[in-house]
């Protein structure tokens, strides 16, 4: 048995283990589910060690003698006090340090999510489509404005927002289903072509 | 001390970040962000990952100790974790090594299959939505069917106008609804950020003293 065939058989075994859930919850699925979590976490640990800890902590401190980085290293280590009942409060310091970047989120959030969207929405309504987009955006926004009762003419207009959202959710649903189906086709192609060698 | 100092760090640091986003001054762009915040964040980040690893390991070991339902499968978590971690820490991450072999022949097929399973469950969810027989659910499903059919050759066989209709759905009503939602999410996230920055929202600091 070649090494490539062995590798493909391992992949096929775990693929079938996961697919077995379609029949019902079973030990093969449970086993591969936990194995997947373990392998992903192990990969995450190695990735963090090799790509973050070594180049940004170990090498600057040990080889470049950038000793100031010992402070954030200790700060990071305070995360681990989360498990202590008495000293758990120490873990608030690294959390607070990472939360500082929220300040950047205010102007950048206003720019990316509000100003850019408003600029794109407030263009001359030269075509029917642009008019429909403008009306839809206003109606969707008003649908989430609860300070005024959704009744009368206003309620009817706000209801238009609901229809727009239903079409939007449907489109997102369709795109997601197609993405999942393309993954499914990929897995079936793997089983049929790479493992069984039926469609070469 | 236990809550006030972290709160002050967030407020003062957050205000400096607001200034960083507006001002091109060298102190903010280079000294504060590039020389201070980025290397300090990288230096403290691995411990955050370690916290998650310890937390998940503790959860599984407690499950084994308590003989909780399906506790036997927690051993597979440890087998997968220890084997992958040892393979990577001893053998490295290069292509052709044991870690990448495990990634390509175990992790990748399993995660891709797990996501592909959702195709079946989404199809059954669509069926349940259709059974609801409300007009809203029908509109949702009709939009989804147009978008799905337009992406496969069968759709074009049914009608050559299908791709045009699907593209119109994506470009007009879908865009309007996504833009409205994005504006709402943007306003909400800015309001939440301001609450954190002003010290009104403190739940991230956890409970207790």
Q: For chain B, how many structural domains are there in total?
A: 1
Residues of chain B with Cβ-Cβ distance to A35 below 8 Å are 76-77, 79-80, 106, 110
Which residues in chain A (42-61) have CB-CB distances under 8 A to chain B? 42-50, 52-53, 56-57, 60
On whether residue A89 sits in a domain, the answer given is: no
For testing contact with chain A, the best of B101, B174, B192 (most A CBs within 10 A): B174
Query: How far is it, in rounded angstroms, from Cα B6 to Cα A94?
Result: 9
Q: Using alpha carbons, select from A188, A181, A64, A94 the residue that is nearest to residue B46.
A: A94
Whether A46 is in a domain gets the answer no
- Retrieve residue A173's tokens: 């649903």
The structural domain count of chain A equals 1
- Whether B156 is covered by a domain: the verdict is no
Range of the domain at A164: 105-200
Query: Is some CB atom of chain A closer than 8 A to the CB atom of B71?
Result: no
In the predicted model, is pLDDT for residue B180 greater than 80?
Answer: yes
Gap from B157 CA to chain A (nearest CA, Å): 18
A28 lies in a domain?
no
Q: Is residue B189 part of a domain?
A: no
Question: Is residue A65 domain-resident?
Answer: no
The 10 Å CB-count burial string (b at 16+, else e) for B127-155 is eebeeeeeeebebbbebbbbbbbbbeeeb
Interchain proximity B80–A42, CB inside 8 Å: yes
pLDDT digit string, tens, across residues B132-144: 678 888 899 899 9
- Residues B99 and A49: their CA atoms lie apart, in Å, by 14
Note whether residue B88 is domain-resident: no
Give A173→chain B minimum CA distance, Å. 6
Q: Model confidence over A122-150: pLDDT tens digits? A: 999 999 999 999 999 999 999 998 888 99
B122 occurs within a structural domain = no
Convert the pLDDT of each residue in A7-66 to its tens digit.
Answer: 999 999 999 999 999 999 999 999 999 999 999 999 999 999 999 999 999 999 999 999
Prediction ipTM score: 0.86
What's the confidence (pLDDT) of residue B132?
66
Q: Which has the closest alpha carbon to A190: A180, A181, A199?
A: A199
Nearest to A18 among B56, B81, B114 (CB): B114
Domain with B46, as residue range(s), is 1-68
Residue A105's pLDDT band, with cuts at 50, 70 and 90, is confident
Of B50, B178, B181, the CB nearest to A80: B50
- Residue A9 tokens read as 């058989």
- Residue A85 in 3-state DSSP? coil
Closest-CA distance of chain B to residue A151, Å: 19
CB count in 10 Å sphere of residue B32: 18
Q: Residue A151: left (phi > 0), alpha (psi -120 to 50), or beta?
A: beta
- pTM here is 0.86
């Amino acid at each position: 048995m070649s090494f490539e065939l062995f590798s493909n058989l391992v992949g096929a075994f775990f693929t079938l283990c996961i697919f077995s859930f379609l029949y019902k919850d079973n030990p093969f699925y449970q086993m591969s589910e936990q194995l997947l979590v373990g392998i992903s976490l192990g990969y995450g640990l190695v990735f963090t060690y090799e790509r973050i800890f070594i180049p940004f902590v170990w090498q600057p401190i040990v080889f470049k003698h950038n000793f100031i980085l010992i402070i954030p290293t200790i700060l990071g280590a305070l995360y681990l006090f989360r498990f202590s009942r008495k000293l758990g409060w120490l873990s608030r310091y690294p959390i607070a340090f990472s939360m500082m970047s929220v300040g950047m989120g205010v102007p950048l959030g206003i720019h990316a999510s509000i100003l850019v969207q408003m600029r794109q929405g407030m263009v001359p309504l030269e075509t029917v489509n642009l008019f429909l987009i403008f009306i839809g955006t206003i109606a969707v926004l008003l649908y989430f404005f609860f300070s005024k009762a959704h009744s009368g003419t206003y309620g009817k207009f706000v209801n238009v927002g609901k229809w727009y959202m239903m079409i939007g959710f449907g489109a997102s649903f369709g795109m997601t289903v197609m993405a999942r189906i393309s993954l499914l086709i990929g897995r079936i192609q793997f089983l049929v072509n790479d493992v069984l060698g039926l469609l070469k | 001390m236990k809550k006030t100092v972290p709160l002050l760090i967030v407020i003062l640091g957050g205000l400096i970040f607001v200034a960083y986003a507006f001002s091109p001054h060298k102190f903010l762009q280079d000294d504060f962000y590039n020389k201070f915040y980025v290397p300090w964040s990288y230096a403290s980040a691995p411990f955050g990952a370690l916290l998650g690893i310890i937390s998940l390991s503790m959860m599984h070991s407690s499950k084994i100790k308590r003989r909780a339902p399906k506790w036997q499968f927690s051993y597979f978590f440890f087998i997968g974790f220890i084997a992958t971690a040892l393979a990577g820490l001893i053998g490295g991450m290069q292509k052709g090594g044991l870690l990448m072999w495990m990634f390509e022949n175990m992790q990748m097929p399993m995660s891709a299959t797990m996501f592909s399973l959702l195709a079946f469950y989404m199809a059954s969810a669509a069926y349940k939505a259709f059974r609801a027989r409300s007009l809203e659910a029908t509109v949702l499903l009709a939009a989804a069917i147009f978008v799905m059919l337009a992406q496969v050759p069968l759709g074009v066989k049914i009608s050559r106008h299908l791709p045009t209709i699907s593209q119109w759905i994506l470009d007009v009503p879908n865009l309007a609804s996504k833009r409205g939602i994005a504006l709402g999410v943007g306003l909400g996230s800015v309001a939440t950020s301001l609450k954190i920055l002003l010290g009104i929202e403190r739940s991230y600091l956890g409970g207790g003293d």
